[in-house]
Structure 1
Amino acid sequence: MKLNASADPAGRRNPSRIGQVRPSHLVTTAGVGSVVDLPTMSVIVRSLDAWSPERQETVLEPRLLGEVQRVLGQQVRALRKAPWDPSESDDPYTRVGVPVTPFPGWVRCPRCHRLGPLDPPGQFDLVHRYGRRPDLAKWVHSQCQKQATTREVNMRACVPARFIVACDKGHLDDFPYVEFVHANATQPCGGAKLVMLDSASTLGPQVTVKCAECGASRSIQEAAGKTGHEKLPVCRGRHPHQQRFEVCGSRLRLMVLGASNLWFSVTASALHLPQSESVEDQVRANWKVFGPAPTQEFMQMMVDGMNDLRSLRSVPSDELWALVEKIRAAGGPQPEEASGDLLEDEWRLLAKPTTQRQDADFRAVPTASPDGYDDLLEQVVQVTRLREVQALVAFTRIAAPERRDLAPRNRVSLSRGTTQWVPAVEQRGEGIFLQLREDAVSRWAGKVAGHPRLLALQAAHQRWCQNRDQPYVPGFPIARFVLLHTFSHLLMRQVALECGYSSSSIRERLYIGRPTKPAAGVLLSTAASDSEGTLGGLVALGSARYLKRLLDQAFEDAGRCSSDPLCAEHVPEYPSDTLHAAACHACLFASETSCETNNRWLDRAFLVDITRDGLAFRP
């Protein structure tokens, strides 16, 4: 996807193309409000108000649109793909693309170490004269005395200043270099000609900002740590993606450009669920036509004459009329009870796959379970075709949202005004669905309800919520969730070694249900915007002969870790708010694109017996 930026931060000149990202990244890692690192500059993706919706295709997924409307309001009318014009030539000055603006607004010259803002213009210039090479666009220090060349195209590119500030309400701003350096100055400095110097020591890198006019200097280290906010002004409520300010006054936190907690997406996703093709369901779906039919002959005339009912022409007229009378006697078609949960609808279909609920975007076939796992698995389903749609609802900074939480406390809007549409991406792929035995899971969860290891995770969860000013809601099924999540990660690591896909392209989808309707299932899938995600390598591993080997190896690997005994003996204790126990990068952690919960709620001891205290599901 093309990224378009103006020649200056205020957007006063015509936009030009300066880079590109994959369309899926605009929902997951490089969405609205995120800072995108390009080869020679750093930019932030603008709010939806600046996009061009007329160049965007609409993604049809009613279930997901309804979920987005529940969170953002009924004014949301559509899910849209990234802007794209198939007839457009590769023009570096195209207007079709995602609008971005330079951020941070400060850069540093690599030759003279001059640190300065991009606005007002004049000190740093944008050089973009490379035609179809947008990646070569760069900022140069036009007044640098250490670069002898007079041609800007030969000058070294300036690098973005790597320090910024943010607050827990989602505001983001440039680091206040001028105020920070001159905080202890006895007289105000009118020049504020700053330079940034790096030096190394036994304590790590030291970054000093110095004013060449008055000589004042200060180390950035003073603004770091838990007390760093005392050396910084209060937040002025800046949203650079919306190009506006609002009242805030919260404490600022020093951030490094490229930090992983600078942007977290708040996304909703849904699998495409096909409609049933039975005769009765088709009559119910077209009840506006069949309901008013006075006679059987009139009904048959409509079936023969309407193109939308052509699939019913092979059904005997008497049988079709009998269905109409049956539904009419019941007072008309009764709408299905809305679950209000996207995952619950998917669970119903995956747990009871049928050939009547399949189409080009969803095909699921039950297969035999591997020998030796009857106490664990209820069934295995090979999903040869699936379609997943993801929509970006909002984003957060510093603190990541909880699993499936679409309204976190620190949520930031994607637009300045009322959101009329949201970015979405549809991906097609394949997967394996494993349903665990509900009776075994429920019996085990009741047995370990008072286990100290489980209580330690519960206490850590309370501290985690308290440290982030989030309400703690008791009743979360920790035992069930940790069991399913650990099982998912163990199998996912083994599948990645043999299926032919990279580990980051395999995603998990957990089904735990709710207290009144518990569930226990794991869907491992791979999805891509093209045919890359449907090559069949993952589905093939769902066969019993392959799956048995993968499960055997997964449980064997779960019993040991290269970081043992530290990993196996780890339990969160006060004041730690870590939401995992026996889990680390060497045994269970997965990439952030694969895991639903940012590698939280994991413990090998819940699945295999590494503690010798009766906690394990499979001792």
Structure 2
Amino acid sequence: MTTAAPSSKVTGPKGQPSRIGGARPSHLVTTGGSGAIVDLPGISVIVKGTESWPLERAETIVEPRLLEKIRATLGPQVNALHTAPWDPQDTDDPWTRTGVPVSPFPRWLRCPACHRLGPLDPPGQFDLVHRYGRRPDLAKFVHTTCQKQTQKAARNKRACLPARFLVACDAGHLDDFPYVDFVHSGRTEPCGGPKLVLRDSSSTLGPRVTITCVECSSARNVSQASGRDGWEALPVCRGRHPHLQKFEPCGRNLRLMVLGASNLWFSITASALHLPQSQTVADIVSANWEVLGPQPNEAVVGLLVGQLDSLRALRDSKTSEVWSAIEALKASGGPVDAPPQTDLLRAEWDLLSHPTTQKQDDDFRAVPISGPDGYNHLLQQVVLVSRLREVQALVGFTRLTAPDRRELDPGNRLSLSRTNSPKWVPAFEQRGEGIFLELPEPRVRQWERQVSEHPRILAMQDAFARWSANRDRPVDTTLPIPRFLLLHTLSHLLIRQVALECGYGSSSIRERIYVGTTAEPATGILLSTAASDSEGTLGGLVALGQPQHLKRLLDNALVDAQRCSSDPICAEHVPEDPSDTLHAAACHACLFASETSCETGNRWLDRAVVVELTGDNLAFLR
């Protein structure tokens, strides 16, 4: 069965691809794409590489700015952005080939009845039970030879649980925990036929997870492989990429991981807002030069404009005007390709900070309005974005350590496919709405100069240096730390307030921070929400941008910024050596937002840069 959400597949007993679950297209880009472990109701699976994704049912997303950015990262051979494959007809076929292919991972299972711990390979010990076309959530693995369930039919046996321990290395390799080698480590005589059981128990000293071999009575606690020195109890990494089904030389130290850990997969994504282009006749002719340039006369051009949908925008113009534009371009040697713009945020900032009715279409509408009373010192401009379209593409992923803000090529980036030169990348598009807030640049620049040597700012700079060194990355000296702290903290304060009133959950409200560069500074925040439906969202967020509502939100946000249930610990927190924490007065009780909302993983936050907390003259609002 296939629904509007892409389905997943595993190989069944007879080799057929069997549908065993579903996921949203956005999920396959942001939190569960290629290389990620996905917990389905009865099975844990890993999403395979994109080279095995069937593209027959995939749609192509057109967003030239984003495509150029990805080409600059992955190479010029990337020629398309594709959605995940899906079947709009919602077929009942449980063996459908439409969907994203997955395979069971980890490959070790535990029977909840007899505690037997064993691998899926070789087959025979565990079987996949999946007979329900419209209930893929009932797919499960059962222990075929379980002595405590001998009287039960396979479909009535208890579902086996995925073994909850994995190992990973700093290079991003992921593998099953080496249960057999771990239990038999140090044994002088080989075990004739390892048969493992796993039992959990608890004590006042903490949880105890013991693995025992019933054949030779060897036993060991998994806690011996945990901690800073746990690698000493493990073999070296064998370089496995389970999503690509390949191995490569490695030999690094392994780290014990728990299934479901948040640092097993971090997406590396690039996103861009749709920006309407000017619609002059010359611009349209230039964009369609391959069709219009070779035409011999005005009459042929008139026929093409009337027949081709790609030239629909020229039908309101006179044919003579179109022909004049063609002749003018021919005389100048043809259109000159503009250099690709790799800074996606710069073009968005230019349009949002100077909205105009000449640059609007069905996917972008922005109208400036007056700001709330009493906040002229904080806000330069408020823009209501009643229509926006965002396209987000998956470039790669990392394990163990998250990429930095908008970093597309970190040193530990892992590939989505076997080839290092992919021709396409997964993407999805959403339509929605937003509120854009611009702060006064002169006042922000003056405040930056005043606080550049403040102890809290210097502490954040030192923590950033330690953070970069611990991850073998160069320090980004172009990041304006005070400015980013101010904009990012204000953004999180407003996200928490907006979520209480607009009708959308806080996890569905996203931020885009515009700080610019030293040469071209920017001071903007875009709070937006979007949905995959073609109609977008319902206007609840834009309504809060009206002066009377925005004033209430700002009032409440600034009051909340002055207190936290964790004060004074939260207010007085400053990262000190050896800590590489990139936040100061911020915690889950006051500023942290969900993973889907924040651009930086809740880094670069400090309430003290917005309002006075400790009386040290740091706050922007005094």
Normalising by the smaller structure, the TM-score range is over 0.9
Is the contact between residue 508 and residue 524 of structure 1 (CA under 8 Å) also seen in structure 2? Answer: yes
**Corresponding residue for residue 380 of structure 1:** 382
2:357 aligned with 1:352 = no
**Corresponding residue for residue 490 of structure 2:** 487
Give the Å deviation of 1:23.
Answer: 1.3
1:530 aligned residue (528, 533, 538): 533
Give the Å deviation of 1:365.
Answer: 0.9
**Corresponding residue for residue 426 of structure 1:** 429
2:8 aligned residue (3, 10, 14): 3
2:521 aligned with 1:521 = no
Is the contact between residue 282 and residue 325 of structure 2 (CA under 8 Å) also seen in structure 1? Answer: yes
2:154 aligned with 1:152 = yes
Aligned equivalents of 2:73, 2:312: Cα separation in 1: 39
Aligned equivalents of 1:285, 1:33: Cα separation in 2: 38
Please state whether the residue corresponding to 1:54 is helix, strand or coil: coil
Aligned equivalents of 1:451, 1:52: Cα separation in 2: 55
**Corresponding residue for residue 405 of structure 1:** 407
Q: What are the residue-to-residue correspondences of 1:120-135 with 2, within 5 Å?
A: 120-135=122-137
Aligned equivalents of 1:380, 1:138: Cα separation in 2: 53
Aligned equivalents of 2:50, 2:270: Cα separation in 1: 17
CA 1:321–1:306: 2 relative to 1, 3 Å: closer
**Corresponding residue for residue 216 of structure 1:** 218
Is the contact between residue 304 and residue 310 of structure 1 (CA under 8 Å) also seen in structure 2? Answer: no
Residues 341-360 of structure 1 show CA distances to partners (whole Å, capped at 9, x for unaligned) of: 01111111111111111111
**Corresponding residue for residue 603 of structure 2:** 600
* Identity across the alignment (%): 65
**Corresponding residue for residue 468 of structure 2:** 465
| Farther off after superposition, 299-308 or 557-566 | 299-308
| Farther off after superposition, 332-341 or 447-456 | 332-341
Residues 458-478 of structure 1 show CA distances to partners (whole Å, capped at 9, x for unaligned) of: 111111111112222324211
Aligned equivalents of 2:321, 2:131: Cα separation in 1: 72
Residues 162-190 of structure 1 show CA distances to partners (whole Å, capped at 9, x for unaligned) of: 00000111100000000001102221112
**Corresponding residue for residue 265 of structure 1:** 267
- Match for 1:431: what amino acid? G
Aligned residues: 613
**Corresponding residue for residue 361 of structure 1:** 363
- Match for 1:171: what amino acid? H
Aligned equivalents of 2:332, 2:520: Cα separation in 1: 28
Aligned equivalents of 1:289, 1:151: Cα separation in 2: 66
CA 1:321–1:47: 2 relative to 1, 3 Å: closer
Please state whether the residue corresponding to 2:232 is helix, strand or coil: helix
Aligned equivalents of 2:318, 2:259: Cα separation in 1: 69
Give the Å deviation of 1:333.
Answer: 5.7
CA 1:130–1:398: 2 relative to 1, 3 Å: same
CA 1:211–1:378: 2 relative to 1, 3 Å: same
**Corresponding residue for residue 584 of structure 1:** 587
Q: What are the residue-to-residue correspondences of 1:91-106 with 2, within 5 Å?
A: 91-106=93-108
| TM-score, normalised relative to structure 2 | 0.94
Is the contact between residue 301 and residue 319 of structure 2 (CA under 8 Å) also seen in structure 1? Answer: no
**Corresponding residue for residue 169 of structure 1:** 171
Residues 176-227 of structure 1 show CA distances to partners (whole Å, capped at 9, x for unaligned) of: 0000011022211121111111110112211011111111111100100111
Q: What are the residue-to-residue correspondences of 1:156-555 with 2, within 5 Å?
A: 156-279=158-281, 281-282=283-284, 285=287, 302=301, 306-307=305-306, 336=338, 338-417=340-419, 418-530=421-533, 533-555=536-558
CA 1:6–1:320: 2 relative to 1, 3 Å: closer
**Corresponding residue for residue 573 of structure 1:** 576
**Corresponding residue for residue 116 of structure 1:** 118
Is the contact between residue 383 and residue 436 of structure 2 (CA under 8 Å) also seen in structure 1? Answer: yes
CA 1:289–1:31: 2 relative to 1, 3 Å: closer
Aligned equivalents of 1:311, 1:38: Cα separation in 2: 47
**Corresponding residue for residue 86 of structure 1:** 88
Please state whether the residue corresponding to 2:572 is helix, strand or coil: coil
- Match for 1:206: what amino acid? R
Give the Å deviation of 1:387.
Answer: 0.7
Aligned equivalents of 1:441, 1:326: Cα separation in 2: 46
Residues 130-189 of structure 1 show CA distances to partners (whole Å, capped at 9, x for unaligned) of: 232111111111111112423111111110000000011110000000000110222111
**Corresponding residue for residue 621 of structure 2:** 618
Give the Å deviation of 1:402.
Answer: 0.5
CA 1:445–1:38: 2 relative to 1, 3 Å: same
Q: What are the residue-to-residue correspondences of 1:63-78 with 2, within 5 Å?
A: 63-78=65-80
Aligned equivalents of 2:616, 2:159: Cα separation in 1: 60
- Match for 1:23: what amino acid? P
CA 1:292–1:167: 2 relative to 1, 3 Å: closer
Aligned equivalents of 2:325, 2:430: Cα separation in 1: 38
- Match for 2:561: what amino acid? A
Aligned equivalents of 1:540, 1:572: Cα separation in 2: 39
| Farther off after superposition, 273-282 or 220-229 | 273-282
Is the contact between residue 10 and residue 17 of structure 2 (CA under 8 Å) also seen in structure 1? Answer: yes
Aligned equivalents of 1:270, 1:316: Cα separation in 2: 34
Is the contact between residue 27 and residue 392 of structure 1 (CA under 8 Å) also seen in structure 2? Answer: yes
Give the Å deviation of 1:286.
Answer: 5.6
| Farther off after superposition, 563-572 or 81-90 | 81-90
Is the contact between residue 270 and residue 392 of structure 2 (CA under 8 Å) also seen in structure 1? Answer: yes
CA 1:199–1:316: 2 relative to 1, 3 Å: closer
Give the Å deviation of 1:306.
Answer: 2.8
Please state whether the residue corresponding to 1:32 is helix, strand or coil: coil
Please state whether the residue corresponding to 2:392 is helix, strand or coil: strand
| Farther off after superposition, 88-97 or 386-395 | 88-97
Aligned equivalents of 1:366, 1:185: Cα separation in 2: 74
| Farther off after superposition, 576-585 or 523-532 | 523-532
Give the Å deviation of 1:22.
Answer: 1.1
Aligned equivalents of 1:425, 1:314: Cα separation in 2: 33
Give the Å deviation of 1:13.
Answer: 1.2
CA 1:327–1:516: 2 relative to 1, 3 Å: farther
Is the contact between residue 125 and residue 143 of structure 2 (CA under 8 Å) also seen in structure 1? Answer: yes
Is the contact between residue 92 and residue 133 of structure 2 (CA under 8 Å) also seen in structure 1? Answer: no
Please state whether the residue corresponding to 1:577 is helix, strand or coil: coil
Please state whether the residue corresponding to 1:53 is helix, strand or coil: coil
Unmatched 5+ residue regions in structure 2? 1-5
Is the contact between residue 68 and residue 341 of structure 2 (CA under 8 Å) also seen in structure 1? Answer: no
Aligned equivalents of 2:504, 2:342: Cα separation in 1: 33
Please state whether the residue corresponding to 1:535 is helix, strand or coil: coil
Unmatched 5+ residue regions in structure 1? none
Give the Å deviation of 1:287.
Answer: 6.3
CA 1:288–1:142: 2 relative to 1, 3 Å: closer
Is the contact between residue 290 and residue 299 of structure 1 (CA under 8 Å) also seen in structure 2? Answer: no
Give the Å deviation of 1:281.
Answer: 3.9
Is the contact between residue 68 and residue 342 of structure 2 (CA under 8 Å) also seen in structure 1? Answer: no
Please state whether the residue corresponding to 2:351 is helix, strand or coil: helix
Residues 251-271 of structure 1 show CA distances to partners (whole Å, capped at 9, x for unaligned) of: 110000000001000111111
Residues 515-543 of structure 1 show CA distances to partners (whole Å, capped at 9, x for unaligned) of: 11111111101011115841000011111
Aligned equivalents of 1:485, 1:467: Cα separation in 2: 24
Give the Å deviation of 1:284.
Answer: 5.0
CA 1:455–1:312: 2 relative to 1, 3 Å: same
CA 1:495–1:221: 2 relative to 1, 3 Å: same
- CA RMSD across the alignment: 2.3
Give the Å deviation of 1:323.
Answer: 7.5
- Match for 2:10: what amino acid? A
| TM-score, normalised relative to structure 1 | 0.94
CA 1:55–1:229: 2 relative to 1, 3 Å: same
Residues 378-411 of structure 1 show CA distances to partners (whole Å, capped at 9, x for unaligned) of: 1111111111111111110000001111111111
CA 1:187–1:292: 2 relative to 1, 3 Å: closer
